[in-house]
Chain A
């Protein structure tokens, strides 16, 4: 089954404790992206990657890191989480080029609470 998986689905942590949210896709997509969803703000892009070893900042990259060592994986790293990073996080992927290039497939989301 074609899918984007994220782990963990729920996480409660404390300020300053490093954490990683994993994202994996099995569709051989070149493009991967991380978003956060906050009430009234829609989805805001944190980081994206056009291919292996290529990553770029989105609209709200502060406090986050990513890596793309393999095509299928795109982990999101919070080196020192703070309460303002409490949010719902989504990973997404898509092909680059072609008719369906902009149709991104989303993971189920990770709800993060930073105390």
Chain B
């Protein structure tokens, strides 16, 4: 039973438009959420995170929104750039340092 789900295996977005990646979770004990980005032949790299006491965190072009009642978070990338083409993983933790990962969404930015 997957506790963190990314239901879209892939997403294609035009350059300059907004990319929205979604993530759902089932465990209400999760209190910290992270997004990682992964290029081919490289390890994942940390992108942005959000604590469960917040509903939004912004870092440049990247914003993460958390809806605790719906157990849903999303990553918005505005504007999307070609270098954003990668696989994006959502992860969650209940503060025991164990990250539970989603299956990933492959984002393709079209020129």
Contact = CB atoms under 8 A, between A and B. Distances in A.
Interface of A: 4, 31, 35, 40-45, 48, 50, 58, 90, 92, 94, 96, 101-109
Contact of B34 (A4, A90, A103): A103
B60 interface: no
A108 B46 CA distance: 13
Contacts of B93: 102
B42 A108 contact: yes
Main secondary structure of the interface of A (DSSP, over half): strand
Interface stretch (B13-21, B64-72, B96-104): B96-104
Contacts of A4: 43
22 contacts: A31-B97, A41-B103, A42-B4, A42-B6, A42-B101, A43-B44, A43-B101, A48-B97, A48-B98, A58-B98, A90-B43, A90-B44, A92-B43, A96-B97, A102-B34, A103-B49, A104-B46, A105-B46, A108-B41, A108-B42, A108-B43, A109-B42
